[in-house]
Amino acid sequence: MKSQLVFNVLKIKNEKIQYDLMVTAEELEITNLDLVGPVHLTFELYRRANAIIVSGVIDFSIRLICSNCLKIFEQKFSERVYQEYIKGKEPIKNYFQQLEDIDFDYEYYDSDFINLSGIMRDTIELAIPLAPWCDPNCKGIDENII
Ligand SMILES: [Zn+2]
């Protein structure tokens, strides 16, 4: 199946093009999260100087286990996504350059195609809290026993 998230760079112009896509966990290669339904991507794709830019929002729901009461619950997320792609090969950096670059929002591409699934997947994975709570007022496990 041809991925909806692979774009021909040569067809991306300065003019912003809006996309509104529904994609599955399989298409994003997400295997470690319990996604509820498809992921909704709304973003624009355009060229600025020597970079291809993707900017938009990812809406999705995920089934999580409350770290306080262990109940399974669903949580909705709406995450901003932004990435710049620059043509060329990624320069080899030493350790300290890598540390300095950690906040940089760009990636490299060296063919005529870019695949947005990586940035979409990373944004989703980074949004998930390490210790989710089902509710800010969750009373924890004791309440369920009483
Ligand atoms: Zn809870």
Give the pLDDT confidence score for residue 105 in this predicted structure. Answer: 62
Ion ligand 1 neighbours (CB, 5 A) are: 66, 68-69, 71, 134, 138
Q: How far apart are CA 88 and CA 41, in angstroms?
A: 27
Report, as an integer, the average pLDDT of 4-21: 95
pLDDT at 113 over 60: yes
**Torsion, Cα of 41, 135, 73, 126 (10° steps):** 40
Question: How far apart (Å, rounded) are the C-alpha atoms in residues 66 and 143?
Answer: 14
Task: Say whether pLDDT at 3 is over 90.
Answer: no
- The tens digit of pLDDT for each residue in 24-43 reads 999 999 999 999 999 999 99
Q: Against a cut of 0.75, is the pTM above it?
A: yes
Residue 136 lies in a domain: no
Q: With cut-offs at 50, 70 and 90, classify the pLDDT of residue 4.
A: very high
Look at residue 102 and tell me whether its pLDDT is greater than 80: no
Residue 135: inside a domain, yes or no? no
Q: Is position 133 within any domain?
A: no
Interval between CA 135 and ligand 1 midpoint (Å): 6
DSSP 15: S
Euclidean distance between the first and the last CA atom of the chain, given in angstroms as a whole number: 52
Q: Which amino acid is at 44?
A: E
What is the tally of structural domains in the chain?
A: 1
Distance 81 CA to ligand 1 centre (A): 29
Residue 145 has pLDDT above 60, yes or no: no
pLDDT in tens, 65-100: 999 999 999 999 999 999 999 988 777 777 776 666
Whether 57 is in a domain gets the answer yes
Residue 137 in domain: no
DSSP-derived secondary structure for 62-111? EEEE-TTT--EEEEEEEEEEEEEEEESPPPP--HHHHHHGGG--EEEE-S
What's the gap in Å between 131 CA and the centre of ligand 1? 10
Q: How remote is the CA of residue 112 from the centroid of ligand 1, in Å?
A: 47
In this prediction, residue 90 carries a pLDDT of: 74
Residue 103 confidence class, pLDDT cut points 50, 70, 90: low
- Domain assignment present for residue 81? The answer is yes
Mean pLDDT of the chain: 89
Residue 33's domain comprises 6-92+100-127
Residue 139: CB atoms within 10 Å? 11
Whether residue 43 lies inside any domain: the answer is: yes
